[in-house]
Structure 1
Amino acid sequence: MSERTATAVVLGGSLAGMLAARALAGTVGRVVVVERDTLPTGPDARRGLPQARHVHQLWSGGALALEDLLPGIIERLTGAGAHRQRVTTDMVMLSAQGWFRRWAQSHFMLLCTRDLLDATVRAQVLADERIELLDATEVLSLCGTDTAVTGVRIRRTDGTESTLTAGLVVDATGRASRMPRWLTEFGLPEPERREVDAGLVYASRLYRAPEEARDGFPVVNVQADPRTGRPGRGGVLLPVEDGQWLVTLHGTRGGEPASDTADFERYAREELRHPVVADLIGRAEPLGDVAFTRMTVNRRHYYERMPAWPENLVVLGDALAAFNPVYGHGMSVAAQGAVALRDVVVRRGWGSPGLARRAQRAMARPVAAAWDLAIGQDVFCPGATRTGPTLRERLAAAYVNRLLYTATGNGRVARKVTDVMSLERGAEVLLAPGMLLAAAVGPLRPPLNEVPLTAEELKAAGLS
């Protein structure tokens, strides 16, 4: 390899960027990660990731991709305090269709704070001597032409500017990505984009769980019902490291939670469809104030559809598609995208003609799966789009709602639904003849009328 083609530059040092760096480390001599923030050495907050204070989860589809890229990472995370929760055994969930039963394990989720996840991944990635970090460094522009990118222009905190030459540039700068503008500055057309904005607002607070509820406590999730035509309100409690509960309340346009700490428990009790979250946090110790954000719009850039695409450039993670975080798919899609990037580079060969375009198309596949899940619900929220849901989206949502209703009383259907929600399988499994028949029949067991917490869990949480 020449000096130019032996280097890959990754823009952004968050989870997607670190995973992209790891994906490329085995195929090039040098990977440089450029990050605007000064990254902490441990699980500490950083300025450029305000959403870290809200709930995050890795569905098993994403966790397995993470393990593929970083062998041993799941054990390291659980050793650091992350919870490996069984789906749906360790979940108490009120869906729009009713309470889900806690069926035998089909998949799993990894739960911890975002700061712990990022720090654990970052430490393992940067231990690779082929990967170099330039933090406290701003990316100014791409270098190259409309046919090929050759590197990036950067500026350090002391004001010095320089050019990093690269055989591949990966944009993993998240929701704030300037890629559409950079492409038009090259003379390329603006990429096709779609936004579905449910107007969702997040308010989150950390709690110290009651002592007896610090190990083995389930996820508790009270979901909104998007079919009513009224603002949706929901809340989720996730067990995280150090005996803590991370609680996020969320509401769509017209039903938003307040940023006021004093209003947090009231919203959980009076605005959600069931007060179980309020009951639980009422017996827990609050740790700090409420974190608040409005950055929840679903936004997808269809870079894979561009009529022309420069060589040596790919876009990954939230810079490619950002999802309403209530579904917990963003990190999993980023991990699967990094695996797709690695596989294309290995299969086609570094520097091969059209490599970047092939990689961009491959990364669009996990994006498409999560995108359909997210907008299938959000598109029905008032004001989410200018035109409302399409006929296809209405038909798909009607079928999915019927499946979810069936899943409340049919374990086989519940497993297939979680196959898709966990991003382990594509939505086509929901169209198998057996699933169509099961949906027509409906639930095999009657609905649950009570919160499916066990007597032991109620006692541990101080509710009995």
Structure 2
Amino acid sequence: MTAPHSSTRRVLVLGGGLAGTLAAAALAPHCDETIIVERHRLPTSPQPRRGLPQARHAHMLWSGGAEAVESLLPGTTSRWLSQGAHRVPLPTGMVSLSPGGWFRRWPESHFLITASRDLIDWGVRAGLDDHPRIRFIQGEPTRLLGDHARITGATIRRPDGTKETMHADLVVDAMGRTSCATRWLGDLGVPSIPESIIDAGVTYASRRYKAPAGTPTSWPVIHIQADPRTPAPGKIASIVPIEGGEWLVSLSGTRGGEPTSDSEGYEAYAAQARSPLVAEILARAEPLGPVTVTRTTANRRHHYEKLGRRMPNGFVAIGDSATALNPVYGHGMSAAAQGARALAEVASRQGDITSRGFTRHAQRAIARPATAAWMLATGQDIYYPDSRGKKPNLVDRVTSAYVHRLIHTATGDLTTTNALTNVMTLQTDVGALAHPAVLLAALRGPRLPALTGPDLTLAEQRVLNAPGRRAVTQA
């Protein structure tokens, strides 16, 4: 099947979330028309939208992702900050208990953006307002058009139930974890897409809190990590400051150690993490609503990039449609943003999005930042008890031992801290951890003695010392 000939270049983006809107921004300069298809009505302000249950959980946009967004839609960071988002300096603005001990809060080298997901998505959509080549339509994709060699469009079911055939020179799958594209491609004769799954069985439970009176506006991200080397389910607790003087608190546990949806037991679960710090802080804050739980957290990757020349022209997948990550590591948005920037770079380099092999090269470029995020997530999740999917081999075990040595060293060494932060923020790939200076630092070990507790400022300590609503006991 081929589309009717037209000199007009059209891009069809299936999905109006963060990945889809950024892909549209990336491709708009290289086509005449970009249509974003979203099945739910999108709000015109930072409000919740249907079809995004993960919006009720904590989100972080690392500097590597924020810079990618800014390169595609200049002014987005200012738009976020003007609405109350936080620019958190790293490692200065993070209090973190790693598997190797408490991290120090060295001077700023990187940053992250924290805000509600509603604000982050709105800030990106607002950057597309009045764009002459981009428009949104409401509808639900039901199948792809074309054949095994070229995808030529999609069938869209409109809100009134009618179906519309929409032809395009390029179709972008940004439908996320619920995408049916692999099945639709199979129906057209495209070879099976290789898939990887690593599932630690993580359950997420999140709740909003009002920050206590007197809390500094520069309140840090608090993150109590699990240690996957211990033979017990991992339990993680995080506090992320967002707009409006609120905190988004997310607790998570791997299979066998899941957090509760019960409001009464929520803070008690937080006390079961490797440090009771989050529970102690929450005892001084005001809960603002019920606990929201999600269990869709498996790391799942569709390796489109491995199809090579069998990859059909006219189709690319981006964001969670290609690589969905355990949200506890906070890399999903950043990897999607960097994938969109890579898509823009390939389009600029090749000059024609309809050229033979464009989608093959684009998919490989999208996969590169996703690979770094995948390795960071699965390198931890693969070791939790009862984790399902691939089991660690010798290379995995050697790599894990080296990374743990780096984490331990970073608790008292600035060189190693900067290297790890470079990788964690997706500013560089994991190969940077093999730099001779980093190898030497790992061999030498931490230069400073281990901290015996969290590295808190006097203002933060005052919040912790204030009378709480209840006593906290660690299980």
Residue 214 (structure 1) shift? 4.9
Which segments of structure 1 move beyond 3 Å, counting only runs of 4 or more? 1-5, 460-464
Query: CA-to-partner distance for each residue in 1:350-371, whole Å, 9 max, x for gaps?
Result: 2211111110111110111111
Question: SS of the residue aligned with 2:423?
Answer: helix
- Residue 359 (1) aligns with residue 325 (2): no
CA pair 115-86 structure 1, distance change in 2 beyond 3 A: same
Which residue does the alignment assign to 1:109?
A: 112
In 2, Cα distance between the equivalents of 1:68 and 1:431? 28
| Residue correspondence of structure 1 range 258-269 to structure 2 within 5 A | 258-269=260-271
Structure-to-structure mapping, 1:240-319, within 5 angstroms: 240-269=242-271, 271-307=272-308, 308-319=310-321
Paired position in structure 1 for 2:130: 127
Q: Who is 1:39 aligned against?
A: 42
Aligned to 1:74: 77
For residue 225 of structure 1, what is the amino acid of its counterpart?
D
TM alignment of 1:30-429, pairs within 5 A = 30-135=33-138, 137-269=139-271, 271-307=272-308, 308-350=310-352, 351-386=354-389, 388-429=391-432
SS of 2:244's equivalent in the other structure is coil
1:456 shift after superposition: 1.4
Contact 1:279 1:463 in 2 (8 A): no
Contact 1:5/1:166 (<8 A) preserved? no
User: In structure 2, do the counterparts of structure 1 residues 387 and 354 end up closer, same or farther at CA, with 3 Å as the change threshold?
Assistant: closer
Q: Is the 8 A contact 2:144 2:185 kept in 1?
A: no
CA deviation map 1:115-141 (0-9, x unaligned): 011111111123312111012x11010
SS at match of 1:306: helix
- CA root-mean-square deviation: 1.3
Over 3 Å counting, the alpha-carbon distance change for 1:4 and 1:356 in structure 2 is: farther
**AA partner of residue 434 (structure 2):** L
Residue 458 of structure 1 corresponds to which residue in structure 2? 461
CA, structure 1 residues 4+213, in 2 after alignment: closer, same or farther (shift >3 Å)?
farther
Q: Deviations over 1:175-202 (max 9, x none)?
A: 0111110121012221110000011000
Q: Against the structure 1 CA distance between its residues 243 and 387, is the aligned structure 2 distance closer, same or farther, given a 3 Å change threshold?
A: closer
Instruction: Name the amino acid aligned to 1:403.
Output: L
Classify the secondary structure of the residue corresponding to 2:287.
strand
Q: Is the 8 A contact 1:202 1:294 kept in 2?
A: yes
Shift of 1:387: 5.1
Which stretch shows the higher mean deviation, 348-357 or 200-209? 348-357
Contact 1:149 1:311 in 2 (8 A): yes
Whole-angstrom distance in 1 between the partners of 2:428 and 2:400: 18
State the secondary structure of the residue aligned to 1:195: strand
CA offset digits 1:304-345 (Å, max 9, x no partner): 111511111000000000001111100001000001111111
* TM-score calculated relative to the size of structure 2: 0.95
- Report which stretch shifted further, 93-102 or 451-460: 451-460
Can you give the 5+ residue segments of structure 1 that lack an aligned partner in the other structure? Answer: none
- Rounded Cα–Cα distance in structure 2 between residues aligned with 1:129 and 1:214: 42
Q: Deviation at 1:427?
A: 1.4
* Runs of 5+ unmatched residues, structure 2: 468-475
Q: Check 1:409–1:177 CA distance in 2 against 1; reply closer, same or farther (3 A cut).
A: same
Aligned length: 462
1:194 aligned partner, one-letter code: S
State how far apart, in whole Å, the 1-side matches of 2:460 and 2:36 are. Answer: 45
Aligned partner of 2:54: which letter? Q
**Residue by residue, what CA displacement relative to the aligned partner does 1:73-92 show, whole Å, maximum 9, x if unpaired?**
11111111000001110110
Residue-by-residue CA offset, 1:188-221 (whole Å, 9 max, x unaligned): 2211100000110000000110132150111111
Contact kept? 1:303, 1:360, Cα under 8 Å: yes
Amino acid at match of 2:449: P
> Residue 97 of structure 2 contacts residue 225 of structure 2 at CA under 8 Å; is this kept in 1?
yes
